[in-house]
Every structure is written in C-alpha cells, then in structure tokens.
Amino acid sequence: AQKVTQAQTEISVVEKEDVTLDCVYETRDTTYYLFWYKQPPSGELVFLIRRNSFDEQNEISGRYSWNFQKSTSSFNFTITASQVVDSAVYFCALRGGSNDYKLSFGAGTTVTVRA
C-alpha cells in the first residue's frame, strides 16, 4: 500500500520568504511517481511537478524547486521568494508502478503568505 505523509499542517510566511514543504512516502514498488499539487481557495487541484523514482535529478522551474531523495523517501518542495498568490493548500501524491490507477495523497499543507 502507498502512503504519503506531510507532517506540516500549516505554514505562515511573509512575502518574499522561501517556503519548503516536506513530504515523506512509503511504497513497496521499485518504480513509482511523485507529484505535487496546489489547491487554491477555488477548489481546483493544480498539477505542479512530477518526478519518476528512477530519476533523482533535482530541478528548478521558475520559483519552484524540489529535492527528491530515495534514501530517505522524501520529496520536498520549495517555493522561492513567495508571493501572496502562492497561498493555497499543497498536496504531495504518489502513484505506484504499472497497473496502479490511483493517486495516494498526503493530508496537505496550508501555506499562507502575508503581504
């Protein structure tokens, strides 16, 4: 069974500060996929990034970056120079290898960016 843990319930920062969201996962699959989603107050879950288990290269995309470490089963996500529009609930999700049709989500972390 897949399990995703987001230990941080809420994070509050002032605009322009960096925000790092923690995600720890559990899976028995050797091939799996990790995702980050953002849910603004409107309710729609917005896909942000994806990482395959066989590619540990960390990347930066605009103000977003992520740190994937298989050794510690962690997939952390960082927003650099946060803005008020970044205020949302952020979810980490995991999907296993072949024939796994569902995403297992963490409980989410509420990020509030104050002006």
Residues 1, 9, 41, 43: which binds another protein (CB under 8 A)?
A: 43
Contact between 24 and 37 under an 8 Å Cβ cutoff? The reply is no
Short-list 72, 78, 66, CA closest to 109? 78
Question: Which amino acid makes up residue 45?
Answer: L
Binding flag, residue 33, another protein (CB under 8 A): yes
Binding flag, residue 45, another protein (CB under 8 A): yes
Nearer to another protein (CB atom), residue 20 or residue 104:
104
Beta strand pairing status for 74-79 and 64-69?
antiparallel
Binding flag, residue 105, another protein (CB under 8 A): yes
Binding flag, residue 101, another protein (CB under 8 A): yes
Binding flag, residue 52, another protein (CB under 8 A): yes
Residues 50, 59, 81, 83: which binds another protein (CB under 8 A)?
A: 50
Which sign does the torsion angle of CA 23, 38, 1, 7 carry? positive
